[in-house]
Amino acid sequence: MFFKLLRLEWKSFFRSASFGKGLAVKLMLAFLSLYFFVCFLALGIGIFFLIKKEFGYNEPILFVNNYLLIWFFGEFIIRFLFQNIPIVGIKPLFAQGISRSRIINVLLIKSLFSFFNFITLTVAIPFVIVNSMESSYSVLSLLGWLIAVVAIVFFLNFFNLWVQQRLAKGIKTLLPMIVILLLLIGLEYYNIYSVSTLFGSFFTYVLQYPVLGVLPFALAYYAYKMVYADFRKNLYLDTFTRKGEAEAKIPAADLTWLNKLCKLAPFIQLDIKLLMRNKRAKNTVYLSFFFLFYGVFIYSSDYYGSNNIMHLLVGILITGIFIINFGQFIPAWDSSYFPLLRTQPILVKDYLAAKVLLMYVSVLLITLLSLAYIYYGWNTVYINIACAVYNLGVNIPVILLFSTINRKRIDLDHGSVFNYQGMGISQWLISIPLLLIPMIIWGAVKFVFSIYTANMVLIVLGCLGLLFTPLILKAVASLYVERRYKTVEGFKQKD
């Protein structure tokens, strides 16, 4: 029965009605997958010689061991953001006489074939092969090391599913783990105690005693049992068929304080709930906070120098990453019930004003957090503030203007990984005015005058945009009304 269920999953993939659709997108994804496969493969082959040449290690694998924990932590972050629980394909099985334990086992085994499980292995396998030919370690020692790496990859796969399942119930259940994680990061950062060195020491022992390579499978098995127990406790047919009751169990945030915004309150409340509950929308929030640290790599690099055009690009992205990721899909976020909105006694201008207010708050909040970059000098903060004002006054109206030609629907029930729903020509064209135009203006003014004048020009343009925002909102609302039938028709078309 177990293998029969696996065969059904395999057949459902190829016999899906959507398998033959979007051939261009599938070919593009296949090309990207092949590209990354070749890149990781080259990394796995070349990293041995690179470490030996640049760092002088006779045994590069010992150097790699010291950074394995950082690699696995990065892999977990990627999994957390993009890997989804593979649960949609098993819904029909609930109506059959199949035990939940078998269904859950199939679900978890299916998760092992995720793209993310092959990222580390694509690097580790060629690295081990090169070591077997160039290093002094025996094939048995390297095989034990590879087995330990595979076990950690499996552990991360199941542990990520467990974390996502727990997070769906509320972040409080994960607070102890988050506190411990922050404590370990603090110990590592301030050189009080090196957790990564301890982790790497285990893999060094594995090279000496290959039999130890099977020990991490105990962690993987424990993670498997944790997520199995969690799924068995919560996996019922009512979870999918009685959505109203299931959703009622989710603790709702108290957003009544937003009622002070009068006509804008219902729309902002819907958007905040979307950002809290939907994974694709939630990832835009996570990405915004992660992008805050993007400046560290640019500002601390001597390659870019000071007051480089790259500093402006970083400022635009840091303060505007949310309005780019969230705003470019307006009104597609509401595509599932957009026709209903059009039948209600609401003004399009109020609908758009709520979106604008949400984006204003995001820019202001991220700008306040980015003030920590004063560590790199006042010029850095000055550029970020100029970019924030430009985003408020110019880029947000530009995003609204491009949203009038956005007719690609987004199915909120779909996952976020490799999900190109909502992507249309407007999403590709919007990068030109959002990024290139401010860079051209800033660079030209800086070349002719000075960096302070260039920053002031961006601030002035942003302030002018803020002054004319009410008129722009009115014009965009008119375009929405004019194109409302084409927009509704576009949202009805499913990919």
Distance CA 255, CA 218 (A): 44
> 276 and 157, same structural domain?
no
In percent, the amount of the chain with pLDDT more than 70 equals: 74
Q: Determine whether 175 is exposed, middle or buried from the number of CB atoms within 10 Å of its CB (0-12, 13-18, 19+).
A: exposed
Distance CA 73, CA 354 (A): 37
Q: Check residue 178 and give its pLDDT.
A: 79
Cβ neighbours of residue 270 closer than 8 Å, sequence gap 6 or more = 334
Position 332 pLDDT exceeds 50: yes
Mean pLDDT computed over 152-172: 82
Tokens of 430: 């919007």
> 113 and 142, same structural domain?
yes
Q: Given 248, 281, 300, which residue is the final one in a domain?
A: 248
Position 123 pLDDT exceeds 60: yes
Q: Given 248, 280, 302, which residue is the final one in a domain?
A: 248
Q: Check residue 456 and give its pLDDT.
A: 92
Q: Check residue 245 and give its pLDDT.
A: 40
Tokens of 358: 């949400």
Q: Determine whether 352 is exposed, middle or buried from the number of CB atoms within 10 Å of its CB (0-12, 13-18, 19+).
A: buried
Q: In whole angstroms, how large is the CA radius of gyration of the chain?
A: 26
Q: Let me know: does 323 contact 362? Beta carbons within 8 Å.
A: yes
> 327 and 235, same structural domain?
no
Q: Given 248, 280, 300, which residue is the final one in a domain?
A: 248
Per-residue confidence at 249, pLDDT binned at 50, 70, 90? very low
Instruction: Tally the domains of the chain.
Output: 2
Distance CA 385, CA 370 (A): 9
Q: Determine whether 494 is exposed, middle or buried from the number of CB atoms within 10 Å of its CB (0-12, 13-18, 19+).
A: exposed
> 374 and 423, same structural domain?
yes
Average pLDDT, the chain: 78
> 277 and 214, same structural domain?
no
Q: Check residue 244 and give its pLDDT.
A: 40
> 469 and 374, same structural domain?
yes
> 278 and 242, same structural domain?
no
> 158 and 261, same structural domain?
no
Tokens of 477: 């609302």
> 288 and 243, same structural domain?
no
Query: What crossing angle do the helices spanning 279-290 and 68-82 adopt, rounded to 10°?
Result: 140
Among 167-171, 231-235, 263-267, 348-352, the least confident range: 167-171
Position 241 pLDDT exceeds 50: no
Range of the domain at 62: 2-248
Q: Determine whether 18 is exposed, middle or buried from the number of CB atoms within 10 Å of its CB (0-12, 13-18, 19+).
A: exposed
> 193 and 97, same structural domain?
yes
Position 89 pLDDT exceeds 70: no
> 413 and 337, same structural domain?
yes
Cβ neighbours of residue 440 closer than 8 Å, sequence gap 6 or more = none
Distance CA 161, CA 117 (A): 13
Among 95-104, 147-156, 433-442, the least confident range: 95-104
> 166 and 300, same structural domain?
no
In percent, the amount of the chain with pLDDT more than 90 equals: 16
Tokens of 226: 């944790």
Quick: pLDDT tens for 336-371: 776 666 666 677 788 888 888 888 888 899 889 888
Q: Determine whether 159 is exposed, middle or buried from the number of CB atoms within 10 Å of its CB (0-12, 13-18, 19+).
A: buried
